[in-house]
Amino acid sequence: MSESYKGLSTQNYIAQLSIDCVIFGYQNGTLKVLVPKLNFQGDFWGLPSGFIYQEEDVDQAAKRILEDRTQMKDIYLEQFHVFGNANRNNAEFMSSLLVQNPQLQGSKEEYDWFVRRFVSIGYYALVDIKKVKPQTTPIDEKMEWVDINQLPNLLLDGKEIIAKALQALRANFDDHLVGYNLLTETFTMKELQKLYETIFDKPFRRNNFQKMMLDLNMLDRLEKQFTGAANKAPYLYKFKEI
């Protein structure tokens, strides 16, 4: 949705098939997604997205799009759903875009390529917010981390895509111990608990949570973290190497 469209039809992409990414990050006790604000009148946002080269695996395309947008390597990435309603097209968006940004005017062929109906494959990514360097495209005004509970206006079925991504994330969270990707290298048990509480949107009991996590045998306990506060210093933990 937020890809510059000039020259698209000549770039050897698969037509009518796109990838939409839901990039999850976690900061200050809130779950966030990285989304671009589109560079045209009104308050409209998209999802980081792109297309698939003819010679490219779909998974590889998703990886490339993600890396371009975040300037990170080895991102945790999971395909979760295909969005294929017949009315998914960029016609309305493009009209508005071109009125506001006549300099983006491309060829008729490129325009037609872009405004057709698109089927989109959804991927979600988990990243450490502090390591991401968000990259905009020519049609983005900016790209920002927004709270998952305060999403702006999203083009097309953007909200549905994010909702489905969160659902998939929750389902995978326990199995894959995926929290790994959302935290810094080391963290306290309280920080880990807060992450879980944010993602599942429900409280856990401190002692039982600690027991649960330690029983999983996935954490290494490191030195204590002395914060200067007048209380017992918490241990730092890290996820075990595999």
Partner DNA sequence: TCAAAAGTGTTGCATATACACCCATGG
Partner DNA sequence: CCATGGGTGTATATGCAACACTTTTGA
- In the complex, the residues that contact a copy of itself under the rule CB under 8 A are 14-17, 52, 54-61, 79, 81-82, 84-86, 117, 119, 121
Contact partner at residue 117 from DNA, a copy of itself, none, CB < 5 to 8 Å by partner kind: a copy of itself
Counting residues that bind DNA (by CB under 7 A) gives 22
Q: Where are the beta strands (DSSP E) in 103-242?
A: 119-126, 140-147, 187-188, 219-224, 235-239
DSSP 213: H
- Residue whose CB is less far from DNA, 133 or 202: 202
Distance between start and end Cα atoms, the chain: 37
Contact partner at residue 222 from a copy of itself, DNA, none, CB < 5 to 8 Å by partner kind: none
* 136, burial (CB in 10 Å: exposed 0-12, middle 13-18, buried 19+): middle
Asked if 233 touches DNA (CB under 7 A), the answer is: yes
Asked if 234 touches DNA (CB under 7 A), the answer is: yes
Q: Are 38 and 2 in contact (CB under 8 A)?
A: yes
Q: Are 16 and 117 in contact (CB under 8 A)?
A: yes
Asked if 206 touches DNA (CB under 7 A), the answer is: yes
Query: 65 by DSSP, 3-state: which?
Result: helix
Stretch binding DNA (CB under 7 A), from 63-71, 76-84, 106-114, 224-232? 224-232
Using the rule CB under 7 A, which residue among 54, 55, 108, 230 binds DNA? 230
Nearest in space to 2 (alpha carbons), one of 18, 16, 26: 18
Asked if 208 touches DNA (CB under 7 A), the answer is: yes
Contact partner at residue 58 from DNA, a copy of itself, none, CB < 5 to 8 Å by partner kind: a copy of itself
| CB neighbour list of residue 61: distance below 8 Å, 6 or more residues apart | 19, 50, 51, 52, 53
Using the rule CB under 7 A, which residue among 28, 54, 103, 231 binds DNA? 231
Catalog residues that contact DNA under the rule CB under 7 A.
188-190, 205-208, 210-212, 214-215, 224, 226, 228-235
